[in-house]
């Protein structure tokens, strides 16, 4: 077997070779897409292997088209003696996955960039030296966080610390968050940048779509796990879990600008450190939160 044949044997693109009206070769991908046995296909008439009138016409005359075959949509490109096949469904799924990833990354960058823009506007009008100094410190912190995000850093465990330490950064980025109540009494080993991203998204959602009061708190769940959550007094929602799907937005989101990616990002962050994100209805209202890692727990991101 030469190198070219080795490459086609491993390719995910289907290939059928014809001599006249007979099949002389088809690779594993083509056999799988056409649902035929390779050993029985070689040397057989093309009609026996291709089994679709339009596919046969393309094989004989050349051209390209998307056809439906055995419940699949196949993209067919044919020229003399060669037919190339690919699964449109798999290609579209991969395209959608990449687009969701692009949107998620854009959403991750949107908040710190918006924060920097706000701080720049503040510096343009602020005369108080102390206020300018604090604004510059926050700009430096956000710039460093952006660099870590761009470099793919973050997500590693840290020495135990309290999420309450993030309050000044959060209120500077989201001034309306100054009205939120903080009841954080536990410590975590989760990465600060990731917890900050979680809080920004959860608090921003509560402020935009919920009702006051908004409370940021940590608590023990009935099973003993540690949770960090944001609670608001809004109306009960129809489906909490669906809101974690990319692009999903609740009925109260009408007229409020947003991408529907905030909770999807929160879930991805929580799962990366071995936790989970959730939304539930409590006596106090709607609660959206994450399960936090604690001291002594194995880092899921570095396990293996």
Q: Which CATH class is domain 3-88?
A: alpha beta
3-class DSSP state of 74: strand
CATH of 157-292, one of 3.40.50.170, 3.40.47.10, 3.90.550.10, 3.30.565.10: 3.30.565.10
Q: Which two tokens stand for residue 29?
A: 């991908």
Please list the residue range(s) of the chain that carry CATH number 3.30.565.10.
Answer: 157-292
Residues forming beta bridges with residue 66, ordered by sequence position? 75
- The CB density around residue 257, as the number of other CB atoms within 10 Å, is 6
Per-residue pLDDT of the chain (304 residues; tens, 9 = 90+): 688 889 999 999 999 999 999 999 999 999 999 989 998 898 999 998 998 888 999 999 999 988 888 778 888 999 989 999 998 876 676 666 666 767 766 767 776 777 778 778 878 888 888 888 888 887 887 787 777 766 665 557 789 999 999 999 899 888 899 999 999 999 999 999 899 989 999 999 999 999 999 999 999 988 889 999 999 999 999 999 999 987 675 555 444 444 567 898 899 899 988 899 999 999 999 999 999 988 655 544 443 3
Distance, in Å, from the CA atom of 263 to the CA atom of 125, rounded to the nearest integer, reads 35
Q: Which residues of 268-290 are buried (b: 16+ CB within 10 A; e: fewer)?
A: bbbeebbbebbbeeeeebbbbbb
Q: Are the CB atoms for 81 and 19 separated by under 8 Å?
A: yes
Please list the residue range(s) of the chain that carry CATH number 3.30.450.20.
Answer: 3-88
Distance, in Å, from the CA atom of 260 to the CA atom of 211, rounded to the nearest integer, reads 19
């Amino acid at each position: 077997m030469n190198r070219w044949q080795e490459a086609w044997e491993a390719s995910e693109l289907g290939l059928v070779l014809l001599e006249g009206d007979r099949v002389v070769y088809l690779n594993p991908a083509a056999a799988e897409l056409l649902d035929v046995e390779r050993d029985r296909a070689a040397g057989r008439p093309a009609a026996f292997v291709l089994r679709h009138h339009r596919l046969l016409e393309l094989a004989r005359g050349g051209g390209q088209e998307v056809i439906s075959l055995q419940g699949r949509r196949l993209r067919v490109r044919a020229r003399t003696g060669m037919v190339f096949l690919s699964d449109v469904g798999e290609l579209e799924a991969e395209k959608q996955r990449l687009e969701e990833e692009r949107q998620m990354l854009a959403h991750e960058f949107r908040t710190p960039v918006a924060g920097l823009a706000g701080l720049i506007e503040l510096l343009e009008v602020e005369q108080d030296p102390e206020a300018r100094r604090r604004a510059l410190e926050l700009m430096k912190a956000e710039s460093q966080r952006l660099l870590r995000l761009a470099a793919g850093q973050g997500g590693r465990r840290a020495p135990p610390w309290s999420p309450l330490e993030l309050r000044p950064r959060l209120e500077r980025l989201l001034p309306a968050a100054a009205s939120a109540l903080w009841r954080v009494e536990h410590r975590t080993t989760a990465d600060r940048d990731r917890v900050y991203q979680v809080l920004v998204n959860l608090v921003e959602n509560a402020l935009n779509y919920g009702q006051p009061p908004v409370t940021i708190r940590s608590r023990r769940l009935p099973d003993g796990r540690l949770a960090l959550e944001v609670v608001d007094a809004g109306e009960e929602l129809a489906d909490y879990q669906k809101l974690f799907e990319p692009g999903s937005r609740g009925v109260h989101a009408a007229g409020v600008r947003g991408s529907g990616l905030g909770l999807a990002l929160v879930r991805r962050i929580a799962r990366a450190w071995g936790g989970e994100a959730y939304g539930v209805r409590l006596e106090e209202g709607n609660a959206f939160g994450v399960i936090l890692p604690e001291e002594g727990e194995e880092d899921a991101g570095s396990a293996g």
